[in-house]
Structure formats: C-alpha cells, structure tokens
Amino acid sequence: MGAQTVAVLLVAVAVAALARRRGVSAPLLLVVVGLVGGLIPGVPTITLEPDVVLFVLLPPLLWSAGLESSYVNLRRNIHPIGMLAVGLPLVTTFAVGVVAFELVPDLSLAAALTLGAIVAPPDAVSATAIGRRLGLPRRMMTLLGGESLLNDATALTAYKVALAAAIGTATGWDRALGTFALAVAGGVLVGVVLGRVLDAARTRLDDPLAESALGLVAPFLIYLIAEQVHGSGVLAVVAAALVVGQRSTTAGYATRLQDDAVWKALQLLLESFAFLLIGLQLPTVIGELAGISAATLVVASAGVLAAVIVVRIAWVFLVAYTPRLWGRSTAPASHLFVVTWAGMRGVVSLAAAFAVPLTTLSGDAFPGRPQLIFLTFVVVIGTLLLHGLTLPWLVRALGVGGDEATVDAQRAAAAQYRASAAAIERLEQLLDERRSSGRSSEVHERAGEVLRRWSTARADAALNPGETTAPVFRDLRLQMLAAERAALIQERDDGRIDDEVLRALLHGLDLEEATLNRR
C-alpha cells in the first residue's frame, strides 16, 4: 500500500505540473487521468480510506484555505455565506434524500437522507481551485470559499445524525439539534482558543523554521482535539486558521516567506492527490454493483444528480432575492448563476460514502449501501466534469470576470505613496534627533539623502506608473542579479567560499528578486 500511495503521489504531481504548464484545469485533468487509470488492466486498485481523507487530507487543505481567506470579507458577507454553508446543505440533504428514497427501492428513508448529507457539501478544494484559475470576482470567491470552508461541518453533522438513524441508533430531532449545536459551538470555541494559543507560541519562538514546523502540525492537532470533545473539527481548523492568518501580518518576514512557500507546495501536493484519488475509485465502485439493475441505476443517477444541481440553483436565487437573508447588496443574476454552477463535489463526499458501515446494529446489511456509494460517485464525477468543463465558457458568456485588477492597482499605488511618505517622515525624525543630540555626521547626512531620494522615487513611481522608469529598472536589476549570482557560484567553484557562505549570499539575492517579481 505504501508503494502504491507513493506512486499515486508522483503521478498526481506530474499531471498537475503538466496541467499548469499547458494552462489547463489541473483538477479536471487529474480526475480524467484517474478514471482512465482505474480502467487499465493491471493497475492496482486503490480503495479510498475515509480516515485518510478526514484526518490527513482535509485538515491541512482547510488550514491552507483559511490562512488565505480574509476575515474582513467573510464577516462582511456573513449572511449569504451562512445561507450557502448552513441552509443549502440541509435543504439539499432533505431534497436528495426524498428523490433517492423514491427512485432506489433498496434505500430506507434514513439511508436516503444519509446519501443526501453525503452529497450536500460542495468541495473546499474544487471550488477554489477552479475559481482561482478563472479569475472570478473577489466577492464571488469569498462566497464560494466561505461556503466550502464551513459547509462540511453542516453536512457531516447531518450525516452523523442520518447515519445513526439508518444503522438503528435511536435519535430524535431534539438530540439532532443538540448534536449540531454542540458541533458548531465546540468547533468554533476550540478553534479560536487554540488559534490564539498557537499564535502566542509562534510569536514567542521567534524562530521561522520552528514556527513553520508548528504550523504544519497545528491543523491535525486542532482537528483531533475538536473531534474528541464532539465539536466540529472542520470548524475548529477554519476558525484557528482565520485567527492565525489575521495575525500573520505581525509575524517576521522570514516566517511569512517560509509559510507561503511551504503551504503552496503542500496544497499542490494534497489537491493533486485528492483529485487523482477520486478518479481511481471507479473499479471499487463498479465492483460493489453486482446484480443491481442497470435501469434503476441510470434513472436514480439522473434523478439524484439533477436534484443536487436544481436545488442549488433554486436556493441561491430564492435567498438572493430575499434581502434579509442575503444581506445588504444582491449580486447581479449573472454572478448568482455562476455561484450556482460552481457547486462541484469532491473527495470528502466520497470519503463519507465509503465510511458507511456494511451492517446495521441488528447485523443486517446496510440498506442500499452499493447504490449509495455509486450515486455519490456519480454526483462527484458528474459535477466535477459538468461544471468544471462548462464553467469557463459560462463565465465568458455571462461576462463575469474579475474587474478588481485596475482598482487594486490604484489602491495599491495610493497605499504605497502613503507608506513612502510615512517612511520619509520617520527618516527626517531620526536625522533631526541625531542633529539635536550632536550625534549626526556627514555619513548620516549622505545616507539620509540617498534614502530620501530612493523613497521619493518609489512614491512617485507608485502614483505615476506610466511615466516611471520602474519597468526598465526592474529588467536591468534582474540582469544584474543574474550576473551577481553567477559570480558567486564561480567563487564557490574556485574554492574561495564554501557552500554555506554561498547559500547565505544567494538568499539575499533571492529575496530581492522575489521583491522585483512580486505581482
């Protein structure tokens, strides 16, 4: 199993790298490669382990998405996000449950509701991965990101309640509501408390390497602690990530640079693995269907997939045009439709389906388990391919694109001008203090003049980007850095410095090049 997992990881990263190089959607290509790979004779069957997804893949992916999220934007859009992350999964659970109960004879009502909860939440990975590539407007990405961060907690709680009823554990609405309230309150409380503890610990460490290492362990620990106290591990990880992300501006520059590089690499690895793993489940899913009517499966698949899509469209438009539910400003209809069409399901749904037990408490076979897993697979693959393949066309056809680039550039220029002015003001204060105390020298005055001209030039370049020499400066400086780097490497090759000295010198050049290449 270990060798197979390593092989899947290598293939996933290679396919993702190819997709990025060719400018195609990595999630879709990975799913297709997984589907084709699963049908090739001789390829080992890799069954998705629910614990691997829920305890290994999900926490770091949620953590990474939470660190990148804006607490300010999430709070500003709390009404629509709440309707998408709480209301929609519950409505989808009941709607899909009723449809499945009517179309699949072997499913009990509780088992059908379990299926509804399984396919209710759009995937945190799918929506943001495809949305980033399409350059969707910021508010739309905030809605989709906030929904995908929080809806797993709603759906997984509904899943636990429906599954308990399906296997024979007595439960009622009062207990179900209590379970949901405890999961939400416990998860948020654990996340906020541990997020603050983590931030305080990282601040006191003052060691970028140790801080990043602690950040890598944090999502797994927070998820486990929250689940142990019957809170939502999903909400705990998201809440803690938002706390740490909000406080990251006070961290040292080295910690921010290192965290950014580490989490981007880890995110690529885990996302690629998750999407490839989805496609590879096809043989396992088909193997469960022996003796089941093909006609029943086709009708049920069409009905459940249609229910998932239609319910999302109806709910989004219904809530959007109910101002008290959506918030102060309603998005244009074209934007709303793109939101409805971005409901791709993913690996969490498959993990929940595979986690359904084989038998009930009475020892009987779980009602309709093979059909439940197959229908989940249909919804996941169907939404990924249908939405993923048509979403770029839909975005272009409706004219829904990110228009923040110009506004962001203007705001960044104004902020840079104010920051440069603050820097010059501070410089003058320092020089005045030295002059008044008699500690000023010609060296200080020359340095002050150089810094004053440099900061003024930055401020002018920010406000007048079309009239500045900044692009020329950048190109020339990059060529100079390349020459410096080559000269330093030659110094090492000639034996005048060793590798440790070389790495320290290159680190300084790398930081400057990263600054010049920032977007």
Neighbours of 362 (CB within 10 A): 7
Q: What integer pLDDT is reported at residue 219 of this predicted model?
A: 95
Sign of the Cα torsion 217, 222, 224, 225 reads positive
The SS3 call for residue 355 is: coil
What number does CATH give the domain 1-401?
Answer: 1.20.1530.20
Sign of the Cα torsion 409, 412, 414, 420 reads negative
Neighbours of 219 (CB within 10 A): 24
Query: Residues of the chain whose pLDDT is less than 70?
Result: 1, 124-132, 170-174, 176, 249, 323-330, 401-416, 458-473, 518-519
What pTM does this model have? 0.77
CA–CA separation, 360 vs 377, rounded Å? 22
CA–CA separation, 484 vs 472, rounded Å? 18
Q: Which of 155, 168, 154 is CA-nearest to residue 110? A: 168
Q: What integer pLDDT is reported at residue 142 of this predicted model?
A: 82
- Nearest-Å Rg of the Cα atoms of the chain is 27
Q: What integer pLDDT is reported at residue 490 of this predicted model?
A: 87
Q: What integer pLDDT is reported at residue 126 of this predicted model?
A: 63
Q: What integer pLDDT is reported at residue 307 of this predicted model?
A: 96
**Residue at token pair 């938002």:** 242
Q: What integer pLDDT is reported at residue 379 of this predicted model?
A: 94
User: Which residues of the chain does CATH 1.20.1530.20 include?
Assistant: 1-401
Q: What integer pLDDT is reported at residue 194 of this predicted model?
A: 95
Phi, psi of 168 (to 5 degrees): 105, 5
CA–CA separation, 262 vs 335, rounded Å? 33
CA–CA separation, 282 vs 381, rounded Å? 10
Q: Which pair of tokens denotes residue 257?
A: 């640079």
